[in-house]
Amino acid sequence: MSFLTVHGLRKAFGPVVAVQDFSLEAERGEFISLLGPSGCGKTTVLRMIAGFERPTAGRVVIDGEDVTDLPTRARRIGMVFQSYALFPNLTVEGNIAFGLKVAGIGREAIATRVKEMLGLIGLQQLGGRYPMELSGGQQQRVALARAVAIRPRILLLDEPLSALDAKIRVSLREEVRGIQRELGITAIFVTHDQEEALALSHRVVVMSEGWVEQTGTPAEVYRTPRTPFVATFVGTANVLPCRIEAAAGKVVRYGAARLTAGQAVTGAVGEIVQFAVRPEAIGLQRFEGASNSLAAVVQDTRFLGPVVRLRVMLEGGLPAVVDVHGEGARDVPAAGAAVHLWFRPESLQVLDRHGHGARAAGSGPGGSSGP
Amino acid sequence: MLVSRAGVLTAMGVGPFALFALLFLLLPTSNLLIGAFQDGDGTPTWANIAGLLTPSVIAAFRVSIIVSAVSAVLGAAAGLAVALALRGDAIPQVIRQAVLTVSGVASNFAGVPLAFAFLATLGRTGLVTVILKSWFGVDLYASGFNLLSIVGLVFTYLYFQMPLMVLVIMPAVEGVKRDWAEAAAMLGASPAQFMLRIVAPVLAPSVIGAALLLFANAFGAVATAYALTGSSVNLVTILLFAQIRGDVLHDPNLGYALALGMVVVTGLCNVAYLRLRAFSDRRLR
Ligand SMILES: Nc1ncnc2c1ncn2[C@@H]1O[C@H](COP(=O)(O)OP(=O)(O)O)[C@@H](O)[C@H]1O
Ligand SMILES: [Mg+2]
């Protein structure tokens, strides 16, 4: 059994359903990101795990203990808030010691633990300062130390870095991850920044409009996106609607072009299925290729440093994006040039044809591994 | 020395305030200070100050300070409770707004109208007094209550002290973030521990500051007390009023001394308040 099991969480605020159906199993020490655009329900999921919101439905089980009906203070959960939420009347040391004090731990033990925590976040010199006398990055470190000082079973982080500027954000995220790894604590990290999620996590849960779109390792979510939303939200993708040529075959048709997918496509002959192709998986050819070749006209080109990004118009009027890197980037076709796009069958990734509702009814594979 | 543009602009901005302070604060205060040490003919004397030490004046200061302090403490406690109750998402916005509006009106309700309102309800023949007596058999006045007394005065003052507290303390109470409560709960603290260890220390300077304001507010009040009790309750302001009104007690220079004494009391309040703020500034601003 997993260390953390979240099953069928749902939260309605009056007519607004913030979270539709959220399930997740996390192993001890795992670092999991909830990734999705603003308003998709990430914070609400975290707040239900923390016990700040009462789920409309669903259970939260930590280490075999069902905590769904427990108040927050009995859950032994550490949380880091986007706003830091440090106590302004207490010093850095006072903030870190707060949870230990209310737990009735002895003075000596508290002093030792506080010192250890200050070392962990590298702020040994600033223990006597008040929160208002610290930078944003320092405050967030203190908030992290305060949360882990109580040795929580789970660490919840709600966009802890989003109020910081870009440079600090990157260095602090590595620090957060390092501390999490060092303590071996199970962490759920909320972010709307796909790069952050991919860089840090063992697994990523991609959410949209209250639904889990997909759960998987960063590579799985990026390479084999399950839905059009995941394909386009995590990285850039071209989504092609194609028609099934043969039942259980790999061959589909986009307009007149015949395309071969990496795996067999289920569905009735004639049915339209969405496919994703990453811009970097596409090559350019002067002549039509034998297979997986799409005619297009270059609209414009953009130099982005490591790659040159071409916006092209496919036959049939669908816009697409192609990234050219390496030597080819020195000599890309100009706007107006007719080109042929080419990609490997493995790069043509089939997407779920159903929306959220269908998945809720249980027809799809879903993102989670509920019991 | 060159005067910078910014300097000129600053002077233009501060100028009117400086003039105002000079005309209505510094001049009257120095006039008061001088008058307190002169007799009717302008000859320097300690007689007025000595007059402050007579039993009736000392008693007046005592009663004034007691009435002000008690109404300030009770008003602050009740107002704080209301403000805390209005905090958060539990109370609908409409009710919050209504309470704040009523507070705005009630905190300014003083003087003759307030005295009349209380006489008409809790006076010897007031509506509530009569209803309590005839319907419930509770005789307020027989049980020792008297509106025209120190207790009655405190009671009446509470009518504007409590709403004033609500208005004054609301911003500070709203500064207590929901996140703090959640962080405390996450760290294992009970609501009581959160109140004691976080909310109380954070709000203490504001609450004490507001209570001092309430004290000064009651200490300087004269119209309500005079309209309610005439001169049956011996307050400094009523005594002062008697000195400058021109009846038998007429002695403007003792009046100056009384006013000076009041300035000293309110001044001490201000010093206490400023020290308090300097103490809390480091953590909260
Ligand atoms: N307390 C609340 N009352 C009403 N609606 C809420 C409340 N909290 C969140 N919501 C709504 O639920 C949805 C999801 O919010 P949230 O979980 O904060 O999203 P995210 O953290 O992904 O940005 C939003 O539409 C938001 O407006
Ligand atoms: Mg959020």
- pLDDT recorded at residue A92: 97
For residue A98, what is the nearest residue in chain B, using CA coordinates?
A: B187
pLDDT band (50, 70, 90) for residue B280: low
Distance between CA atoms of residues A239 and A262, nearest Å? 16
- The verdict on residue B13 lying in a domain is no
**Residue written as tokens 């105002």?**
B20
pLDDT band (50, 70, 90) for residue A43: very high
- pLDDT recorded at residue A355: 52
Angle between helices A136-149 and A107-120 (to 10 degrees): 140
- pLDDT recorded at residue B8: 79
Secondary structure of chain A as H, E, C letters = CCCEEEEEEEEEECCEEEEEEEEEEECCCCEEEEECCCCCCHHHHHHHHHCCCCCCEEEEEECCEECCCCCHHHCCEEEECCCCCCCCCCCHHHHHHHHHHHCCCCHHHHHHHHHHHHHHCCCHHHCCCCHHHCCHHHHHHHHHHHHHHCCCCEEEEECCCCCCCHHHHHHHHHHHHHHHHHHCCEEEEEECCHHHHHHHCCEEEEEECCEEEEEECHHHHHHCCCCHHHHHHCCCCEEEEEEECCCCCCEEEECCEEEECCCCCCCCCCCEEEEEECHHHCEEECCCCCCCEEEEEEEEEEECCCEEEEEEEECCCCEEEEEEEHHHHHCCCCCCCEEEEECCHHHCEECCCCCHHHHHCCCCCCCCCCC
Sheet holding A272-277, edge to edge: A257-260, A251-254, A238-244, A272-277, A349-350
For residue A144, what is the nearest residue in chain B, using CA coordinates?
A: B183
Say how many domains are in chain B. 1
Name the architecture of domain A228-350: Beta Barrel (2.40)
Token representation of residue B166: 């609500």
Taking an 8 Å cut-off on Cβ atoms, the answer to whether B193 and A102 are in contact is yes
- pLDDT recorded at residue A31: 97
Distance between CA atoms of residues A294 and B132, nearest Å? 93
Examine the pLDDT at A84 and tell me if it is beyond 60.
yes
- pLDDT recorded at residue A143: 96
Ligand 1: does its nearest atom lie under 6 Å from the Cβ of A37? no
The CATH superfamily of A4-223 is: P-loop containing nucleotide triphosphate hydrolases (3.40.50.300)
pLDDT band (50, 70, 90) for residue A353: low
Which residues have a Cβ under 8 Å from the Cβ of A43 and sit 6 or more positions away? A158, A159, A190
> What mean pLDDT do residues B94-108 have?
86
- The verdict on residue B152 lying in a domain is yes
- The verdict on residue B2 lying in a domain is no
Distance between CA atoms of residues B58 and A107, nearest Å? 51
Examine the pLDDT at A371 and tell me if it is beyond 80.
no
pLDDT tens column, A200-234: 999 999 999 999 999 999 999 999 999 999 999 99
Domain membership of residue B271 as a residue range: 52-284
Distance between CA atoms of residues B265 and B259, nearest Å? 10
Q: Which of A15-29, A35-49, A277-291, B14-28 has the lowest mean pLDDT?
A: B14-28
Examine the pLDDT at A177 and tell me if it is beyond 60.
yes
Cα B95 versus chain centre, distance? 26
- The verdict on residue B270 lying in a domain is yes
Interface-testing mutation among A98, A130, A157, with chain B (most B C-beta atoms within 10 A):
A98
> What mean pLDDT do residues A322-349 have?
89
pLDDT band (50, 70, 90) for residue A362: very low
* CATH label of the domain that carries residue B70: 1.10.3720.10
Model pTM score: 0.81
Q: How far is the CA of A44 from the centre of ligand 1 (A)?
A: 6
Taking an 8 Å cut-off on Cβ atoms, the answer to whether A52 and B182 are in contact is yes
Examine the pLDDT at B43 and tell me if it is beyond 90.
no
Contact list, A76 vs chain B (CB under 8 Å):
188
> What mean pLDDT do residues A107-120 have?
95
Cα B142 versus chain centre, distance? 31
Average per-residue pLDDT in chain A?
90
% of residues, chain A, pLDDT over 90? 75
pLDDT tens column, A118-133: 999 999 999 999 999 9
pLDDT band (50, 70, 90) for residue A316: confident
Q: Taking a C-beta distance cutoff of 8 angstroms, is the pair A127, A93 a contact?
A: yes
Distance between CA atoms of residues A32 and A6, nearest Å? 13
> What mean pLDDT do residues A328-357 have?
83
- pLDDT recorded at residue B284: 54
- pLDDT recorded at residue A69: 95
Q: How far is the CA of A364 from the centre of ligand 1 (A)?
A: 26
The CA-atom distances, in angstroms, between A112 and each of A117, A223, A325, B71 are 9, 46, 53, 48
> What mean pLDDT do residues A168-187 have?
93
Token representation of residue A256: 């007149």
Distance between CA atoms of residues B165 and B158, nearest Å? 10
Closest by CA to B49, choosing from B219, B258, B249, is B258
Of the two residues A326 and A47, the one the predictor is more confident about is A47
- pLDDT recorded at residue A366: 38
Q: Residue type at A128?
A: G
- pLDDT recorded at residue B2: 56
Task: Measure CB to CB from residue A102 to each of B188, B282, B283 and give the nearest one.
Answer: B188
Examine the pLDDT at B87 and tell me if it is beyond 70.
yes
Query: What is chain B written as a DSSP string?
Result: -PPPHHHHHHHHHHHHHHHHHIIIIIHHHHHHHHHHTB-TTS-B-SHHHHHHTSHHHHHHHHHHHHHHHHHHHHHHHHHHHHHHHHSSSSS-HHHHHHHHHHHHHHTT--SHHHHHHHHHHHSTT-HHHHHHHHHH---TTTTT--TTSHHHHHHHHHHHHHHHHHHHHHHHHHTS-HHHHHHHHHTT--HHHHIIIIIHHHHHHHHHHHHHHHHHHHHT--HHHHHHHTTSS--HHHHHHHHHHTSTT--HHHHHHHHHHHHHHHHHHHHHHHHHHHHHHHHH-
Of the two residues A185 and A286, the one the predictor is more confident about is A185
Of the two residues A48 and B17, the one the predictor is more confident about is A48
Examine the pLDDT at B84 and tell me if it is beyond 70.
yes
Which of A17, A40, A44, A56 to mutate to test ligand 1, by most ligand atoms within 8 A of the CB atom?
A44
pLDDT tens column, B181-239: 999 999 999 999 999 999 999 998 889 989 998 998 888 887 788 777 777 778 888 88
Ligand 1: does its nearest atom lie under 6 Å from the Cβ of A39? yes
Distance between CA atoms of residues B243 and B258, nearest Å? 9
Ligand 1: does its nearest atom lie under 6 Å from the Cβ of A15? no
Which residues have a Cβ under 8 Å from the Cβ of B152 and sit 6 or more positions away? B118, B122, B145, B146, B228, B229
Positive or negative CA dihedral for A178, A184, A185, A187? positive
Q: Taking a C-beta distance cutoff of 8 angstroms, is the pair A370, A8 a contact?
A: yes
- The verdict on residue B111 lying in a domain is yes
Average per-residue pLDDT in chain B?
84
> What mean pLDDT do residues A224-253 have?
90
* Through-space distance between the first and last CA atoms of chain B, rounded to whole angstroms: 36
Cα angle, residue B221 at apex, residues B216 and B223 outer, rounded to 5°: 170
pLDDT tens column, B16-30: 888 888 887 788 888
Task: Measure CB to CB from residue A81 to each of B183, B193, B201 and give the nearest one.
Answer: B183
- The verdict on residue B255 lying in a domain is yes
> What mean pLDDT do residues B81-102 have?
85
- The verdict on residue B20 lying in a domain is no
Query: Which residue ranges make up each domain of chain A?
Result: 4-223, 228-350
> What mean pLDDT do residues A137-162 have?
95
Contact list, B283 vs chain A (CB under 8 Å):
88-89, 130, 132
| Parallel, antiparallel or unpaired: strands A307-314 and A283-285 | unpaired
Of the two residues A290 and A46, the one the predictor is more confident about is A46
CB pairs under 8 A between A and B: 76
- The verdict on residue B158 lying in a domain is yes
The CA-atom distances, in angstroms, between A370 and each of A1, A15, A367 are 11, 26, 9
- pLDDT recorded at residue A249: 83
Examine the pLDDT at A199 and tell me if it is beyond 70.
yes
